[in-house]
Structure 1
């Protein structure tokens, strides 16, 4: 709906007031996928919808440490505004904060009236426009892991895992979660209406996975973004830290962000777009074909080939931090080779056994620190390039993977991944020149700051002996 349409705004205000809400929190993702927001008193919602909320565009260029990176359009332009308009279709009440509802915001550049080039949500919208031109609507199912931590002033970093229990993967209850964090979190997230379905303890102590139902790509990205923000906020309320950092501890594995991807076919039996919703009015899974190799349609196989072909560049979005690449390596169960397999969890791209309406592939490359919008946009852009090219993937991996004699190695550092992204002009052509330039500048500043920083490891390794 149009946020400036007064009658619907008033309708939402009346509904929220009846539920005891007097504040609307308008949120949007920054470049790294963290939540930026403003609380708006309910009486002032019409003005926010009509005129937008002004923020400095350099919010997209601000590092986690508060530095402003010299990205084009920010410092060099005198720190101009962006405008954020509430998307009232995404309104929901916050179950844990009385009197507060929340919605996402759409970000525009007031000078042009167009989406801000750095806006992750609008980047995904642009990529989806290319899929729509093919008569396809991608469907995405996000899977995210995180660690729950408690204060530990005596530890490096000031935090420790809430449990050191081992061997408790795929469990629930007090065995690995002594105070039922998972149950409390599941129930509150259910009431947030973001499509949470289930959860369990993961491989390492204090590590959890909560699953979200699949949905069309933008809606799935919105829910994954809100999920991460909510989990972190709920932990803060208890004096804890929930981190989606790729690998926060030396003595534990990493946290992944896996994507299950399929597509609905909006074309009729003659390949013409069908506005009634697919083949003769039926929503068909474009990845399913019982008569084709592996039971996967040409569309699915070509999409897999595209993801494999553009995987080095995609790593810059799927594994977006210096820390991300410490999740990779032998015996990590994290993919660091470019391969695919049939129901094979050691492959970068896994095809689960379901076919028919459940036909899909799972990209296991991403880590939990990835921005949901950028990970999904990059994956869809790579898959679409494969569909357009009609590429076929190589033979699927058989047996346990991680064999460099059979598969190419992904970039093993953030600088290498950023170089691969810059070199992949096909992929960046879909992502857009302005976004790519902003992202590369921002991330290369992160690398430079890390390379100048003296770490605890360096002092432990050299301080006494040299």
Structure 2
């Protein structure tokens, strides 16, 4: 995955030992996309691929406030994490340590664990392979860097609070050199990072990752988020991928650029005779994504906060539509042609679990291909200047509305895996209930003095 060397697992372990690696952090994604795992002496990695290591399965039903969500009381059995040694990689910032991603299995039977989002993506990829196609995905992630601040209500303030640093670089933008530090380590880690910049928001940054096959891309997105969090903490900062961390600043998105490769490596979205126009297969894919976009919304925007970002003023899509090189649309077709022909999904934010989001979007696109769906007319010009009926179906404006749409889409839930989607819905409803009962600082400021 993260290395191009075609060596077997035993040789890979021996190379890392020779390079001074002493510990391996075995990790997997929970439903939130958070890295969970354990650290092992590297000598243990010789037996773990065969035997695996047990974790309490309840870790997959924990919410973000450390509550084990009710509804899964079946004795809280184990799950088995089995290392995928092809993902083993030495950490450039800590050469004595390495990372390795694990697949999750059921004890005894060894069958894939139903709530493993990496396995959910793997099953979708297999369906594409049966029709001779391989999904290719390039992720773009934006994030904010923050400092601890005991005086502010949220306990955080921006790393730098100057206006208009978009597309600027150097010490004036980044006095501690954090961005270049992150870019260097992302490149050395094999995450295929190739560019970085200050984004539009104050202390908002973006690091671009190259495209690759879907599983490799999702693994890199997962490790990228983990790396950004860890390295920022080492510098005394907090990095957040929240959709809208500040009331007075821009939201952060995670855009996905998707194409499909044929067995000969050619781009199935590109017709050499019609440069700049999607093939019929590409149009079918777009139609499938649009048809499921409302139900997919909670997988792409999984927090209460995500919906603060989704508004017309934020260049975040609010409607189900598509267009050629139009940044107001949900699905944008960039103006690059030939092998670079692709679709861009613009609604997602960085709090999404990459494996779940990739799986859901690719499933929807596959449905469009299999059913030969046709998309509506492409949006041209300024979206919000069009008659409302031409703008497309509104996207959900709250987590509650989005979860209801996913819950009602039985076909999508079954295709993605009813157990993983139903578990996701239960956890997110619990989170939503806690939010609805919480007295906010806005309420105190608005009402306490006057009422």
TM tier relative to shorter chain: over 0.9
Look up the SS of the partner of 1:438 in the other structure. Answer: helix
Map 1:13-412; keep pairs closer than 5 Å. Answer: 13-72=13-72, 76-266=73-263, 278=264, 283-291=265-273, 295-402=277-384, 404-406=388-390, 407-412=392-397
Q: After TM superposition, give the deviation of residue 24 of structure 1 in Å.
A: 0.8
Q: Distance in 1 between matches of 2:172 and 2:331?
A: 32
| Unaligned 5+ runs, structure 1 | 2-6, 267-277
Q: Does the 8 Å CA contact 2:283/2:374 hold for their aligned counterparts?
A: yes
Q: After TM superposition, give the deviation of residue 453 of structure 1 in Å.
A: 1.1
Q: Does the 8 Å CA contact 2:276/2:335 hold for their aligned counterparts?
A: no
The residue number in structure 2 matching 1:441 is 426
Q: Does the 8 Å CA contact 2:9/2:86 hold for their aligned counterparts?
A: no
In the alignment, is residue 419 of structure 1 matched against residue 404 of structure 2? yes
* Partner of residue 461 from structure 1, selected from 443, 446, 449: 446
Q: After TM superposition, give the deviation of residue 12 of structure 1 in Å.
A: 3.2
Q: Distance in 2 between matches of 1:156 and 1:111?
A: 49
Output one character per residue of 1:417-458: Cα deviation in whole Å (capped at 9) or x when no partner.
111111222322320111121111111111111111111111
Q: After TM superposition, give the deviation of residue 220 of structure 1 in Å.
A: 0.2
Q: Distance in 1 between matches of 2:306 and 2:402?
A: 11
Output one character per residue of 1:341-372: Cα deviation in whole Å (capped at 9) or x when no partner.
11111111110011211110100010111111
Output one character per residue of 1:43-101: Cα deviation in whole Å (capped at 9) or x when no partner.
222232221111011111111111001243xxx21111001111111111011113101
The residue number in structure 1 matching 2:4 is none
1:8 to 1:218, Cα distance in 2 relative to 1, 3 A: closer
Q: Distance in 1 between matches of 2:95 and 2:194?
A: 24
> Could you state the TM-score of these two structures normalised by the residue count of structure 1?
0.92
Look up the SS of the partner of 1:310 in the other structure. Answer: helix
Q: Does the 8 Å CA contact 1:71/1:442 hold for their aligned counterparts?
A: no
Q: After TM superposition, give the deviation of residue 405 of structure 1 in Å.
A: 3.7
Q: After TM superposition, give the deviation of residue 14 of structure 1 in Å.
A: 2.3
Q: Distance in 1 between matches of 2:309 and 2:428?
A: 18
Output one character per residue of 1:323-350: Cα deviation in whole Å (capped at 9) or x when no partner.
1001011211111111111111111111
The residue number in structure 2 matching 1:11 is 11
Superposition CA RMSD, Å: 1.6
- Count residues in correspondence: 443
Q: Does the 8 Å CA contact 2:183/2:193 hold for their aligned counterparts?
A: yes
Look up the SS of the partner of 2:88 in the other structure. Answer: strand
Q: Distance in 2 between matches of 1:291 and 1:48?
A: 52
Q: After TM superposition, give the deviation of residue 174 of structure 1 in Å.
A: 2.3
Output one character per residue of 1:361-416: Cα deviation in whole Å (capped at 9) or x when no partner.
10001011111111111110111111111111111111122454422210101111
Shifted more, 42-51 versus 319-328: the winner is 42-51
Shifted more, 154-163 versus 422-431: the winner is 422-431
Shifted more, 100-109 versus 9-18: the winner is 9-18
Q: After TM superposition, give the deviation of residue 291 of structure 1 in Å.
A: 4.2
Q: Does the 8 Å CA contact 1:9/1:46 hold for their aligned counterparts?
A: no
Shifted more, 197-206 versus 418-427: the winner is 418-427
Look up the SS of the partner of 2:312 in the other structure. Answer: coil
Q: Does the 8 Å CA contact 1:142/1:211 hold for their aligned counterparts?
A: yes
> Could you state the TM-score of these two structures normalised by the residue count of structure 2?
0.95
The residue number in structure 1 matching 2:437 is 452
| Unaligned 5+ runs, structure 2 | 2-6
1:294 to 1:356, Cα distance in 2 relative to 1, 3 A: closer
